[in-house]
Amino acid sequence: MLTREEGEEEKEEEEEEEAKGRRRAFSINDNVDLLAEILGRLDGRSLAVAGCVCRLWNAVGRRDSVWEAVCHRHVAGGGSSGAGGGCSTRSVVAALGGYRRLYRLCIGPALDRLAGSAGGRGSTTTTAEAAAAHHLSLSLSLSLFSIDCYERLGGRQQRPASLLFLCKPVDVS
Amino acid sequence: MKREHQETGAGGGSGYHVATAADMAGAKGKMTAAPSMGMEDDDCGVDELLAALGYKVRSSDMADVAQKLEQLEVAMASTAAAASDDASVLPQIASDTVHYDPSDLATWLDSMLSELNAPPPPLPPPPPVAAAVHHHHRFDVSTASAITTVAPLRPSDAYDFKPVPPPAAASGGRVVYGLDPQSEMIVSPRDQKRKRTCSPSSSSSRGAEAGRARGSRTEGASSAKPAAALPVVVVDTQETGIRLVHALMACAEAVQQENLKAADALVKHISVLAASQDGPMRKVAGYFAEAIARRIYRRRPLFQVDRALDSPALEDLLHLHFYESCPYLKFAHFTANQAILEAFSGCRRVHVIDFGMRQGLQWPALLQALALRPGGPPSLRLTGIGPPQSDQSDALQQVGWKLALLAKTIGVDFHYRGFVASSLADLESRMLVERDGNEGDRDDEGEEEAVAVNSVLELHRLLSRTGALEKVLRMVLAVRPRIVTVVEEEANHNGGTFLDRFTEALHYYSSMFDSLEGGGGQAADAGEEEEQQKHRAMAEAYLGRQICNVVACEGAERTERHETLGQWRGRMARAGFEPAHLGSNAFKQASMLLALYAGGDGFRVEETDGCLTLGWHTRPLIATSAWRVSAASAH
């Protein structure tokens, strides 16, 4: 008994020292769920950039749950208006190819296009309207995404082109 | 030579250089078209014919002349290719009115060939009859080129026949085809003058050539008049654009009056004018010129051979590219799906009948929306109707298989059935839906399935046969649908005289082609740019076939009988349907979709009495409407 108590005390001391050490040098890489939570608050481009940092970040950045958070955040406008049936949405989107693909093919280009055009007009919409617009744009994005998925099903077409109109101009000067 | 000239005129976007070279050859060939037409139609008396027209060419020299023409064509093609800005070369060439004495063909060709080293070489417009007018003015090429760059702002009062200046002056070169009656009246005396010179000619080719030469003489004369006032005569793109439109109208009028010789001459003139245009106007003019030529020559056996190459597979491919390159079909699908979705709310079993299945691009979005609707997806049955295929492949079944695969992936209970029918009027309602007592219709709870009928750009084809549309609408009533979604082109291509139809079609397809050009987004790299251009070219070919059908065909062959929304409303009401308003959701979704298109500023979504229309600027081009069985006819 004495030895065990001593062992426990020693362990506690060691843990305290380790904890102190950890508090002094906290590494996000040790806490992957926290990392995922943080990355999920980024916008698409930053998240893609974050995926270039290291293998761990790349792996976390590829999680569909992270991209799901990104999609909902940037499309639902901060409020989860599409929460009625979030589980079924997830399964449908997963079946169609996943949130990361949805963002890359539909939502990202659409947001870029809308941002480009809205910058010229100036945003005068209220938050409710913006939320409604974003909610609709999620359903619109999903519609476009499903058409793209359908086009790829055939296999005979090399480049399904129903989303070509969303291509964003890239300045290569 | 005539025929391939038309083809290259209508060749459209691909091979601009080839088209310009060929058109230039054609323009030069107009000069030798007289002798060559003379040779085709009259085998003897070539020398007299040429001499009468003022060309001092011995028939033995003709081979030499022909060879030099070929050299000239090659040289001009290479010059055009080397030019830095394609758009300015051709208007310069077409508009620099440097006249040489063309009576001596061989030496003229020599001088042309030698001059080609200095860019850009001047090209004489349709040459005046040498005996009548002698133009020996020599205009400085450099000043001509300086002026042409300022062309879009050119004052229009230098020309005595100029109609009301177009409002497109601000838009810089793009022609607006608002032919208000005022401008029509101003121009028509001139056109009639041209026609009157053409009609008295009774001999075949010679008369046409003389008429055309006289027509061009009047133009040459009027362009020579301001030559005294200004140092250079310039024809800017707007001017030729308006002339082009008026030439098209004059040609249509000639066809309507069965004056085929004049029409033939005008068609060639149109092709030359079209070559000086740029962008959508050139393509539209090319397609219309080709269609009118087909109409004129339709009695020749060549015409039938072309028609035999039609196949539903090609039609589907072009339709697919049309879908991908512009938003009209997507708009149609999304708004129709929204109406169907709202009509199906709360139903556990739903059935959609699609009158034009094609590639089934409307249905993935509906499947996804049904999968995500609150309350879970219903079980969906889809009946697709398509035309018979020429080859052995069963396109309908393949589409059904793809849709079933998608439905299985996202978890929607899906059944598919395909019907092959060459015309919708061949169908019976009992084929589509079993009613009243059949076991297959009801499930355990005895709930009937809700039916929706969807027709995207299909109903207008039925108008070519009397009674077919009424039969189909009766069949739709018998099916007792919850909602009928109808999408049709917003144009009147089925009424009145040929000239009315032609005018309407010209305006409609001009707007369509404009929107294709302006609505395409920029691509990220050269590969995608190429893809987009390929899609656009094929979309234009798709529209070109419609143009051909509207202009060149008659009777049962003319299937593209578009009617306006008002006319469709009347027909649906008479058949026993009442309108169902498309909700604001559909409007917002359509607006959002259009906002995603790069040229989105040009597209307009409008709501009129519960129907949605999509148009380019002020012109609505496609309309979606929803209908339900009226209480009176439901009894």
Q: How many CB pairs under 8 A join A and B?
A: 118
| pLDDT the model gives residue B607 | 92
Chain B hits for A140, Cβ within 8 Å: 334, 589, 592-593
Min Cα distance B535 → chain A (Å) is 9
- pTM score of the predicted model: 0.65
Whether B375 has a pLDDT exceeding 70, the answer reads yes
Instruction: Tell me how far the alpha carbon of residue B412 is from its chain's centroid.
Output: 40
Q: Which of B368, B520, B597 shows the shortest C-beta gap to A146? A: B368
Whether B378 has a pLDDT exceeding 90, the answer reads yes
What pLDDT, in 10s, does the model give residues B540-589? 999 998 998 888 888 888 888 999 999 999 999 999 999 999 988 899 88
What phi and psi values does residue B259 have, to the nearest 5 degrees?
A: -95, 80
Name the percent of chain A lying above pLDDT 90: 12
Contact B595 A114 (CB under 8 A): yes
Chain A hits for B402, Cβ within 8 Å: 150, 153-154
| pLDDT the model gives residue A130 | 55
Report residue B115's pLDDT band, with 50, 70 and 90 as the boundaries: low
User: What's the rounded mean pLDDT across residues B451-462?
Assistant: 92
Whether B508 has a pLDDT exceeding 90, the answer reads yes
Min Cα distance B409 → chain A (Å) is 6
Contact B368 A142 (CB under 8 A): yes
Question: Which one of A114, A140, A165 makes the best mutation probe of the B interface by having the most chain B beta carbons within 10 Å?
Answer: A165
Min Cα distance A55 → chain B (Å) is 29
| pLDDT the model gives residue A1 | 58
Contact B522 A96 (CB under 8 A): no
Ranges B338-352, B461-475, B515-529: which has the least confidence? B515-529
User: What's the rounded mean pLDDT across residues A19-42?
Assistant: 82
What pLDDT, in 10s, does the model give residues B151-203? 333 333 333 333 444 443 333 333 334 334 443 344 344 444 444 433 333 33
Chain B hits for A117, Cβ within 8 Å: 595, 600
| pLDDT the model gives residue B139 | 35
| pLDDT the model gives residue B128 | 38
| pLDDT the model gives residue B68 | 73
Could you give the number of structural domains in chain A? 1
Report residue B455's pLDDT band, with 50, 70 and 90 as the boundaries: very high
Chain A hits for B334, Cβ within 8 Å: 140, 143
- Out of B139-143, B371-375, B574-578, B602-606, the most confident range is B574-578
A91: nearest CA partner in chain B: B410
Contact B364 A146 (CB under 8 A): yes
Domain membership of residue A49 (yes or no) is yes
Reference B329, options B567, B523, B590; nearest CA is: B590
User: What's the rounded mean pLDDT across residues B136-160?
Assistant: 36
Contact A143 B324 (CB under 8 A): no
Min Cα distance B365 → chain A (Å) is 4
Q: How many CA atoms lie within 13 A of B337 on its CB side?
A: 24
Contact B402 A150 (CB under 8 A): yes
Report residue B341's pLDDT band, with 50, 70 and 90 as the boundaries: very high
Q: Which of A147, A162, A166 shows the shortest C-beta gap to B596? A: A166
Whether B526 has a pLDDT exceeding 50, the answer reads yes
Report residue A53's pLDDT band, with 50, 70 and 90 as the boundaries: very high
| pLDDT the model gives residue B83 | 47
Domain membership of residue A50 (yes or no) is yes
Residue A49's domain comprises 26-76+98-116+131-143
Q: Are B108 and B136 in contact (CB under 8 A)?
A: no
B408: nearest CA partner in chain A: A95
User: What's the rounded mean pLDDT across residues B527-532?
Assistant: 74
What pLDDT, in 10s, does the model give residues A126-162? 555 555 555 557 788 888 888 888 888 866 555 566 6
User: What's the rounded mean pLDDT across residues A41-45?
Assistant: 87
> At B631, which helix (H) or strand (E)?
helix B631-634
Q: Which of B361, B372, B405 shows the shortest C-beta gap to A89? A: B372
CA torsion sign for A87, A93, A98, A104 is negative
Contact B521 A96 (CB under 8 A): no
Question: Which one of B409, B412, B531 makes the best mutation probe of the A interface by having the most chain A beta carbons within 10 Å?
Answer: B409
Report residue B208's pLDDT band, with 50, 70 and 90 as the boundaries: very low
Whether B363 has a pLDDT exceeding 90, the answer reads yes
Whether B91 has a pLDDT exceeding 60, the answer reads no
Chain A hits for B371, Cβ within 8 Å: 88, 92
Cβ neighbours, 10 Å, residue B282 = 25
Whether B3 has a pLDDT exceeding 50, the answer reads no
Q: Are B101 and B154 in contact (CB under 8 A)?
A: no
Chain A hits for B337, Cβ within 8 Å: 143
What pLDDT, in 10s, does the model give residues B413-424? 999 998 888 888
Q: Which of B325, B409, B528 shows the shortest C-beta gap to A95? A: B409
Domain membership of residue A46 (yes or no) is yes
Whether B28 has a pLDDT exceeding 90, the answer reads no
| pLDDT the model gives residue A22 | 59
> For chain B, give me the number of helices (H) and strands (E)?
24, 9
Whether B123 has a pLDDT exceeding 80, the answer reads no
Structure-block tokens of residue B151: 């062309």
Contact A136 B405 (CB under 8 A): no
Contact A114 B327 (CB under 8 A): no
Domain membership of residue A82 (yes or no) is no
Question: Which one of B322, B326, B373, B592 makes the best mutation probe of the A interface by having the most chain A beta carbons within 10 Å?
Answer: B592
Q: Give the list of residues 6+ apart from residue B501 with CB closer than 8 angstroms, or none.
A: B492, B493, B494, B495, B550, B551
Contact B405 A153 (CB under 8 A): yes
Whether B488 has a pLDDT exceeding 90, the answer reads yes
Task: Give the total residue count for chain A.
Answer: 173
Q: Which of A89, A113, A170 shows the shortest C-beta gap to B596? A: A113
Task: Write down the mean pLDDT value for chain B.
Answer: 70
Q: Which of B406, B521, B523 shows the shortest C-beta gap to A153? A: B406
- Out of B207-216, B296-305, B548-557, B570-579, the most confident range is B570-579
Ranges A57-71, B229-243, B278-292, B315-329: which has the least confidence? B229-243
Report residue B10's pLDDT band, with 50, 70 and 90 as the boundaries: very low
| pLDDT the model gives residue B509 | 94
| pLDDT the model gives residue B58 | 60
What phi and psi values does residue A60 have, to the nearest 5 degrees?
A: -65, -40
User: What's the rounded mean pLDDT across residues B246-271?
Assistant: 86
**Left, alpha or beta for B297 (phi > 0: left; psi -120 to 50: alpha)?**
alpha
| Cα–Cα distance for residue pair B285/B251, rounded to 1 Å | 12
Contact A92 B532 (CB under 8 A): no
Question: Which one of B410, B528, B603 makes the best mutation probe of the A interface by having the most chain A beta carbons within 10 Å?
Answer: B410
Chain B hits for A89, Cβ within 8 Å: 372
Question: Which one of A90, A96, A146 makes the best mutation probe of the B interface by having the most chain B beta carbons within 10 Å?
Answer: A146
Question: Which one of A117, A150, A153, A159 makes the best mutation probe of the B interface by having the most chain B beta carbons within 10 Å?
Answer: A150
Whether A87 has a pLDDT exceeding 90, the answer reads no
| Cα–Cα distance for residue pair B364/B323, rounded to 1 Å | 14
| Cα–Cα distance for residue pair B506/A156, rounded to 1 Å | 37
Please name every residue paired with B614 in a beta bridge, in sequence order, or none if there are none.
B605, B622
| Cα–Cα distance for residue pair B478/B119, rounded to 1 Å | 71
Domain membership of residue A89 (yes or no) is no
User: What's the rounded mean pLDDT across residues A93-98?
Assistant: 87
Question: Which one of B323, B368, B522 makes the best mutation probe of the A interface by having the most chain A beta carbons within 10 Å?
Answer: B368
Q: Are B198 and B211 in contact (CB under 8 A)?
A: yes
Domain membership of residue A35 (yes or no) is yes
Contact A91 B411 (CB under 8 A): yes
Q: Which of A139, A162, A169 shows the shortest C-beta gap to B324? A: A162
| Cα–Cα distance for residue pair A42/A50, rounded to 1 Å | 9
Min Cα distance B413 → chain A (Å) is 14
Q: Which of B324, B409, B585 shows the shortest C-beta gap to A161? A: B324
| pLDDT the model gives residue B580 | 92
Cβ neighbours, 10 Å, residue B565 = 21
| pLDDT the model gives residue B533 | 82
The bridge status of strand B349-354 relative to strand B450-456 is: parallel
Chain B hits for A153, Cβ within 8 Å: 402, 405-406
Chain A hits for B331, Cβ within 8 Å: none
B534: nearest CA partner in chain A: A161
| Cα–Cα distance for residue pair B564/B491, rounded to 1 Å | 5
ipTM: 0.73
Ranges A160-169, B228-237, B319-328, B610-619: which has the least confidence? B228-237
**What's the N-to-C CA distance of chain A in angstroms?**
76
User: What's the rounded mean pLDDT across residues B284-312?
Assistant: 70
Min Cα distance B10 → chain A (Å) is 26
| pLDDT the model gives residue B181 | 40
| Cα–Cα distance for residue pair B219/B595, rounded to 1 Å | 45
| Cα–Cα distance for residue pair B335/A45, rounded to 1 Å | 32
Structure-block tokens of residue A37: 């939570």
Contact B520 A165 (CB under 8 A): yes
| Cα–Cα distance for residue pair B71/B164, rounded to 1 Å | 42
Give residue ranges of A with CB < 8 Å to any B CB.
84-85, 88-89, 91-92, 95-96, 110, 113-114, 117, 132-133, 136-137, 139-140, 142-147, 149-151, 153-154, 159, 161-162, 164-170, 172
What pLDDT, in 10s, does the model give residues B382-432? 999 988 877 666 888 889 999 999 999 988 999 999 888 888 888 887 887
Contact B592 A136 (CB under 8 A): yes
